[in-house]
Amino acid sequence: MKVVKFGGSSLASGKQLEKVFQIVVSDPERKVVVVSAPGKRFSEDEKVTDLLIECAELSLQNQDPKEKLDAVVARYALIAEELAISSDIIQEIENDLKRRASSDKSNPERFMDLMKASGEDNNAKLVAAYFQSQGVDASYVDPKDAGLLVSDEPGNAQTLPESYTKLASLHDRRGILVFPGFFGYSKEGDVFTFSRSGSDITGSILANALKADLYENFTDVDAVYSVNPSLVSRPKEIKELTYREMRELSYAGFSVLHDEALVPAFRAGIPVNIKNTNNPSAPGTRIVYERDNTNGPVIGIASDEGFCSIYVSKYLMNREVGFGRKLLGILEEFGLSYEHTPSGIDDISVILRENQLAPGMEEEIKRRIETDLNADLVKFEHSLALIMVVGEGMRRNVGTMARASKALAKAKVNIEMINQGSSEVSMMFGVKEVEEKRAVQALYDEFFAAVMV
Ligand code: ASP
């Protein structure tokens, strides 16, 4: 059997839902359908999840969220109308939203999650109602009944291990199961969501729990591209890549699949197939355990902006026991997570996502490192982009780093830092954000363009 997940753009209108229905019923193996909330119908449109966040924010500021709530209901109502589904379901959705909006707000983050989760929860009810209206045996599954238990971290929930055995009993249910993505329940019975785009995670958890043969993830592109199409025109499509390659790529800006969504499928050895709802006959991209990696060292190039680095130098740092721990300890005190720590004999850089820094924090951290660690120099560098060059083939190809750095030098890109993970599946280059596009193009030309002609 297959677990099939549809993203927001695949469920944004009645027309899209018709495609989803055809895809599901065309293959009897497609038994579990995981849905996102309705997404954008056109580029300036608003996602239902974003509307719900605005509703929650207004309510928390004691303002009337009615206009936004009506806009959410209107999105579902339009879909129901397009598909001629009974309006009872819309009444049910409206009542549910009102109930959530008037619930306890003493814990604002929990309230926010309760509102956000309604996007997928109500959409799953709508999709199940639509399938039933087409004469198909389909039912909505409540994640609470099914036992999808998560940690109580608002907006960043993690699946609890006991979920897997509980969810396995979904096997006993008949017909097509429509499961809402993006959220689960804490042991105390409260709703908590995964991080944004987390419906991908739900699909992967279900694929693992039910030991599916395949996890199909339907989105709005034909394949995962070797590089972001907004940076390089018409890049090569990737037919097959490994879990490790995908994990590295999605970490640094490949938004096709949530970067936490691979692990559950990977652990159970279930292949993932990224496919296009608007072109279901295209083979898409398969993410597998192992692939033939003899055709070149690099499979993809990813890049992401919004990083900063803290450069710390101190003479004889290499001899000082505990220096790294103390440095990271200071960051921990400020609640900061770090991404990489390239280091030399007398210096170390810590790379962080810039959006974690609250106003005034930078000066405070600098002062602490200078005084607590007696550092000679502490310097923040802002607006950095990280570029990941990824490929399992790197392990067996000599000179990939030389090729990459030569290509960057030729394009006159100044490399701020280099890091190669010990797994040898990726190389990371830190460059100034303003040079990102040029750098990516140069690397793409080096590793792909020449191969294509
Ligand atoms: N609807 C949620 C979001 O926009 C989750 C998802 O679509 O996967 O982030």
Task: Assign residue 411 the CATH number of its domain.
Answer: 3.30.2130.10
Residues 43 and 168 in one domain: yes
The per-residue DSSP string of 155-182 comes to TS--B-TTHHHHHHGGGGS-SEEEEE-S
Select from 356, 411, 360 the least CA-distant residue to 387: 411
The per-residue DSSP string of 165-227 comes to HHHHGGGGS-SEEEEE-SEEE-TTS-EEE-STTTHHHHHHHHHHHTT-SEEEEEESSSSEESB
Q: How far apart are CA 281 and CA 26, in angstroms?
A: 11
Q: How far apart are CA 257 and CA 273, in angstroms?
A: 11
Domain range for 15 = 2-288
> How many folded domains does the chain comprise?
2
* Helix (H) and strand (E) counts in the chain: 15, 18
Q: Is 349 in the pocket of ligand 1 (CB under 6 A)?
A: no
Q: Is 220 annotated as a binding residue?
A: yes
Residues 204 and 306 in one domain: no
Alpha-helix residue ranges (DSSP H) falling in 62-148: 66-82, 88-101, 108-133, 143-146
* Residue 276, φ and ψ in degrees, nearest 5: -105, 120
Select from 236, 235, 258 the least CA-distant residue to 246: 258
Q: Is 271 in the pocket of ligand 1 (CB under 6 A)?
A: no
Select from 34, 14, 15 the least CA-distant residue to 24: 34
* Cα 329 to Cα 78, 212, 332, 351, distances in angstroms: 52, 42, 5, 15
Residue nearest to atom 3 of ligand 1 (CA): 197
User: pTM for the complete prediction?
Assistant: 0.86
Residues 263 and 372 in one domain: no
Residues 268 and 163 in one domain: yes
Ligand 1: which of 33, 36, 202, 255 to mutate, most ligand atoms within 8 Å of CB? Answer: 36
**Tens-digit pLDDT profile for the chain (453 aa)?**
999 999 999 999 999 999 999 999 999 999 999 999 999 999 999 999 999 999 999 999 999 999 999 999 999 999 999 999 998 999 999 999 999 999 999 999 999 999 999 999 999 999 999 999 999 999 999 999 999 999 999 999 999 999 999 999 999 999 999 999 999 999 999 999 999 999 999 999 999 999 999 999 999 999 988 998 888 888 889 999 999 898 888 876 666 788 889 899 999 999 999 999 999 999 999 999 988 866 778 999 999 999 999 999 999 999 999 999 999 999 999 999 998 898 889 999 999 999 999 999 999 999 999 999 999 999 999 999 999 999 998 888 888 999 999 999 999 999 998 888 767 899 999 999 999 999 999 999 999 885 543
Rg (the chain; Cα; Å): 24
Residues 248 and 395 in one domain: no
Tell me whether residue 329 is in a domain.
Answer: yes
Residues 428 and 318 in one domain: yes
Q: Which residues pair with 418 in a beta bridge?
A: 429
Length of the chain in terms of residues written: 453
For residue 373, how many other CB atoms are within 10 A of its CB?
19
Of 265, 288, 311, the residue that ends a domain is 288
Tell me whether residue 240 is in a domain.
Answer: yes
Q: How far apart are CA 215 and CA 265, in angstroms?
A: 8
Q: Is 225 annotated as a binding residue?
A: yes
Q: Is 368 in the pocket of ligand 1 (CB under 6 A)?
A: no
Residues 313 and 272 in one domain: no
Of 288, 308, 332, the residue that ends a domain is 288
Residue 5: CA atoms inside 13 Å, Cβ hemisphere, count?
Answer: 32
Nearest atom in ligand 1 to the alpha carbon of residue 37 is: 1
Residues 277 and 348 in one domain: no
Tell me whether residue 413 is in a domain.
Answer: yes
Residues 75 and 221 in one domain: yes
Residues 312 and 234 in one domain: no
Which CATH number covers residue 155? Answer: 3.40.1160.10
Residues 337 and 224 in one domain: no
Report the Cα 421 to chain-centroid distance in Å.
21
Q: How far apart are CA 171 and CA 338, in angstroms?
A: 40
Give burial (CB, 10 Å; 0-12/13-18/19+) of 10. buried
Select from 350, 354, 419, 423 the least CA-distant residue to 388: 419
Q: Is 196 in the pocket of ligand 1 (CB under 6 A)?
A: yes
